[in-house]
């Protein structure tokens, strides 16, 4: 995928963010379920995943954090509120940045939060500009994930914590499921989807010391069916935007990928070397 395609993903999000937020939640990420039978609301489940991720960042109050692929800023605002840090959120989608900026003015915050449009593979910040880096469910959109990881490492100061949460494969996909996984990835813009091993290798190669790999696949797995259902129920609004055929594929493939044993979701925790 070329650089141009990164902007196509931005345009995709420009178009879908409003109806998507109505169908799912302002956290543009999966949810975390305590068990397969737990039944929290989507909002509670997505907030719980935010907690699992930002709770591992370990950034001191007063620090400055970059949130790469920030969506409409819901995780960034929580991070600022609860950890008393300044946050700069970046997204490739201009529409999301507008929504995120509007939400900042509507909530009183003890710290500074700002949002700007930027490409994660070419961050417009000097080296060591931040005390910590966060990337919640966005790196799978990167045509050049190693480059995005190097950019995160570059803009975080040495010793600063970095937490990444993302889809990954828990093991090699058997031949009979390969087409399903490829079609899922294509329909849902997962430009880069690999096993956990190569992901952690890229993390380390980017100049980040890996301290923990938290496999939350089983906690996130219930999201897939819930997400498919949410998209299906918003078919009237989302269909004309993404195309009805593609939308139906997204629903079907999300459900089918979600039950494969190779479905995975990890939180990578580390520090800038
Ligand atoms: N972290 C947010 C949003 C996750 S959705 C949340 O949890 O709510 C994925 C995000 O990655 C979107 O905001 C999308 O615009 C962003 N994104 C995708 N490709 C990007 C790129 N090349 N550079 C920056 N952001 C990108």
Contacts with 22 (C-beta within 8 Å, 6 or more apart), sequence order = 234, 237
Nearest CA to ligand 1 atom 13: 71
Distance 139 CA to ligand 1 centre (A): 8
d(CA 210, CA 207): 9
* Token pair 């490829």 in the structure block, residue: 182
3-state helix, strand, coil in the chain (%, to 5): 50, 20, 30
Using a CB cutoff of 8 Å and minimum separation of 24, what contacts does 74-79 make?
74/25, 74/26, 74/27, 74/28, 74/50, 74/103, 75/27, 75/29, 75/50, 75/134, 75/136, 76/100, 76/113, 76/115, 77/103, 77/104, 77/107, 77/109, 77/113, 78/47, 78/50, 78/54, 79/54, 79/134
The tokens describing 37, both together, are: 């039978």
pLDDT of residue 92: 97
Contacts with 44 (C-beta within 8 Å, 6 or more apart), sequence order = 31
Q: Per-residue pLDDT tens for 205-222?
A: 999 999 999 999 999 999
d(CA 23, CA 233): 8
Distance 69 CA to ligand 1 centre (A): 3
Distance 175 CA to ligand 1 centre (A): 30
- Listed residue (108, 46, 56, 118) closest to 88, CA to CA: 118
- Domain range for 227 is 3-269
How many structural domains does the chain have?
1
Most confident by average pLDDT, 31-35, 39-43, 208-212:
208-212
The answer on pLDDT for 89 being more than 70 is yes
Q: Does an H or E element contain 65, and which?
A: strand 64-68
pLDDT of residue 4: 54
Under 8 Å between Cβ of 242 and 193: no
Orientation of helix 94-106 relative to helix 3-23, angle to 10°: 50
d(CA 132, CA 155): 9
Position in ligand 1 atom list of the atom nearest CA 27:
8
The number of residues making up the chain comes to 273
pLDDT of residue 1: 45
Under 8 Å between Cβ of 93 and 117: yes
pLDDT of residue 156: 98
> Stretch 186-194: mean pLDDT, rounded?
95
Nearest CA to ligand 1 atom 18: 141
Under 8 Å between Cβ of 13 and 96: yes
> Stretch 3-23: mean pLDDT, rounded?
89
Pocket-forming residues, ligand 1, beta carbon under 6 Å: 6, 9-10, 13, 27-29, 69-71, 74-75, 90-93, 96, 119-121, 136-138, 141-142
CATH code at position 121: 3.40.50.150
Q: What are residue 263's phi and psi, to 5 degrees?
A: -60, 130
């Amino acid at each position: 995928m070329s650089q141009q395609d990164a902007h196509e993903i931005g345009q995709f999000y420009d178009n879908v963010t409003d109806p998507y937020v109505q169908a799912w939640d302002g956290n543009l990420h999966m949810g975390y379920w305590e068990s397969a039978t737990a039944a929290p609301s989507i909002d509670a489940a997505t907030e719980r995943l935010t907690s699992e991720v930002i709770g591992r960042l370990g950034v001191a109050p007063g620090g400055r954090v970059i949130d790469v692929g920030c969506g409409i800023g819901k995780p960034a605002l929580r991070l600022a509120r609860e950890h008393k840090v300044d946050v700069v959120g970046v997204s490739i989608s201009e529409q999301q940045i507008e929504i995120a900026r509007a939400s900042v003015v509507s909530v009183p915050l003890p710290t500074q939060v700002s949002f700007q449009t930027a490409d994660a593979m070419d961050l417009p910040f000097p080296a060591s500009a931040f005390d910590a880096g966060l990337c919640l469910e966005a790196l799978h959109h990167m045509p050049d994930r190693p480059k995005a990881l190097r950019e995160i490492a570059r803009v975080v100061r040495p010793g600063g914590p970095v937490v990444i949460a993302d889809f990954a494969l828990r093991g090699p996909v058997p031949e009979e499921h390969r087409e399903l996984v490829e079609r899922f990835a294509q329909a849902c813009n997962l430009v880069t989807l690999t096993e956990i091993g190569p992901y952690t290798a890229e993390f380390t190669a980017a100049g980040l010391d890996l301290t923990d790999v938290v496999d939350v696949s089983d906690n996130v797995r219930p999201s897939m069916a819930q997400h498919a259902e949410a998209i299906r129920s918003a078919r009237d609004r989302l269909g004309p935007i993404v195309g009805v055929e593609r939308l139906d594929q997204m629903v079907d493939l999300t459900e089918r990928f979600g039950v494969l044993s190779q479905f995975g979701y990890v939180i990578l925790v580390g520090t800038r070397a």
